[in-house]
Amino acid sequence: MPATDLRPAPATPALYDVEAVRRDFPILSQRIAGKPLVYLDSAATSQKPQAVIDAVSRFYAAGNANVHRGVYRLSEAATAAYEGARSRVAAFLNAPSAREVVFTRGTTESINLVAQSFLRPRLRPGDEILLTEMEHHSNIVPWQLVAAQTGALLRVAPISDDGELDVGALGALLGERTRLVSIAHISNALGTINPIERITALAHARGIPVLVDGAQSAPHLAADIRAFGCDFFACSSHKMFGPTGVGVLYGRAELLEQMPPWQGGGDMIASVTFEQSTWAAIPSKFEAGTPDIAGVIGLGAAVDYLSALDRGAVAAHEAGILDYAATRLAEVPGVRLIGTAARKASVQSFVMQGAHPHDIATILDADGVCIRAGHHCTQPLMARMGVPATARASFALYSTTADVDALIAGLDRVRRVMGL
Ligand SMILES: Cc1ncc(COP(=O)(O)O)c(C=O)c1O
């Protein structure tokens, strides 16, 4: 089974106790406006299990000290917890070494780091950076900034009306001047799963490095850096059941070692004089200043939480919810699905004739149903799909068919309220 396949053949949803999983997430038992919370915005940020909340509060209650600095026991324990989280994240991503895991503020910062530290020194006027039409603004704007600084150009691989990447066209855009391919593993607005291994093989055949934006895949798929063969992989803790403010950049050691520091300050140096400074080894070279220690420890707890689950059963459960949602939504009069690729995960966008997505989301909110409405930080993709905005329901390991039923009931109310 390819590492990116969300639908394992022997589906075992019966073994997956979603109600037990839901009990791990205290927020899900909340009521909103007297109604049970129906949280269908996990692609924006996921909810947090008690284990993550406890890890963060335990650190502040009993373990708080700065890392990498103290020689006293509390600081040594904080350092061990922080570095232990790095090892667990490396194992979770199947990265060859924990030295290749840099903690950042999130996917956005990880991509900016690669743009400025890896790519900028390598770009000459007329060089090209290859993206796709389905990228999040975080995987467009950092490249625009570095292109403006160097005279490089963006090239964009097309997608079909279903939201499927045209891999042949992407291959044809790889050329002598291509310096990097940067691509989402899973589209946050369409849910499309891109064939990362194929794309990496195509790019590497021409010696071109690949960055994978894994913001939407890390929570759903068993990410496998070794199988992907990518050079960089970026993801965000808050989308994978961990705290906000923390992200990960995996980078191949050989490349990280060549890259200059991204920010200067404490903790990233080997020595400092007024004349000259030298840099710490990777990954510290890229972690200037006091990091979000509690956040990283919380991410470690999130990774432990995910790893303790049967990921195949989770994937089968999520695939079942997505199929159910797509089927039920398509039956609602006036609804058109946006994003109908063959291989998808956990996101269903839609538009409804006569109702703006913001109106839909506002009316659903009165029923305690949380969905996202807007361009989802993918304005070029919205233009490609011919819509200014969509409504988007997104799912996670705690989503249920009852959540989908509440969404459908809410849409019936939207139709009544708006006289459709
Ligand atoms: C595909 C994708 N890339 C990048 C990002 C940016 O992530 P963050 O805001 O956590 O840095 C997101 C967030 O929605 C995303 O969905």
Q: Show the 3-state SS of 348-377.
A: EEEEECCECHHHHHHHHHCCCEECEEECCC
Measure the CA dihedral 299/114/190/27, to 10°: 20
Phi, psi (rounded to 5 degrees) for 157? -80, 140
Residue type, 343: R
A 10 A CB-CB count for 420 gives 13
Measured distance CA(155)–CA(113) in Å, rounded? 20
A 10 A CB-CB count for 44 gives 16
Q: How far is the CA of 342 from the centre of ligand 1 (A)?
A: 23
Q: How far is the CA of 106 from the centre of ligand 1 (A)?
A: 8
Q: Is 377 in the active site?
A: yes
Q: Which of 42, 108, 139, 233 to mutate to test the pocket of ligand 1 (most atoms within 8 A of CB)?
A: 108
Query: What residue owns the CA closest to ligand 1's atom 14?
Result: 44
Q: What is the mean pLDDT of each run of 10 residues along the chain (420 residues)?
A: 37 75 97 93 98 98 94 96 98 98 98 98 98 98 98 98 98 98 98 98 98 97 94 98 98 98 95 97 98 98 97 96 98 98 98 97 96 98 98 98 98 96
Supply 384's token pair: 């490609």
Helix (H, G, I), strand (E, B), or coil: what is residue 110? helix
DSSP 386: T
Q: How far is the CA of 43 from the centre of ligand 1 (A)?
A: 9
Q: Which atom of ligand 1 is nearest to the CA of 239?
A: 10
Model pLDDT, residue 11: 43
Question: Is the pTM of the predicted complex or chain greater than 0.85?
Answer: yes
Supply 215's token pair: 């913001």
Measured distance CA(139)–CA(135) in Å, rounded? 6
Query: What residue owns the CA closest to ligand 1's atom 9?
Result: 108
Q: Which atom of ligand 1 is nearest to the CA of 45?
A: 14
Q: Which atom of ligand 1 is nearest to the CA of 138?
A: 4
Rg (CA), the chain: 22
Q: Which of 45, 103, 107 to mutate to test the pocket of ligand 1 (most atoms within 8 A of CB)?
A: 107
Q: ∠233-238-243 over CA atoms, to 5°?
A: 120
Model pLDDT, residue 134: 98
Query: What residue owns the CA closest to ligand 1's atom 15?
Result: 215
Q: How far is the CA of 23 from the centre of ligand 1 (A)?
A: 27
Q: Which residues line ligand 1 (CB under 6 A)?
A: 106-108, 136, 138-139, 184, 188, 213, 215-216, 236
What residue ranges define each of the domains in the chain, with the CATH number in brackets?
A: 18-43+310-417 (3.90.1150.10), 52-308 (3.40.640.10)
Give CA 342 to chain center in angstroms. Answer: 20
| Gap between the terminal Cα atoms of the chain | 45
Q: How far is the CA of 216 from the centre of ligand 1 (A)?
A: 7
Distances (CA, A) of 178 to 28, 115, 120, 151, 209: 46, 14, 13, 13, 9
Query: What residue owns the CA closest to ligand 1's atom 16?
Result: 188
Model pLDDT, residue 407: 98
Cis amide prior to 283 (ω within 30 degrees): yes
Measured distance CA(368)–CA(371) in Å, rounded? 10
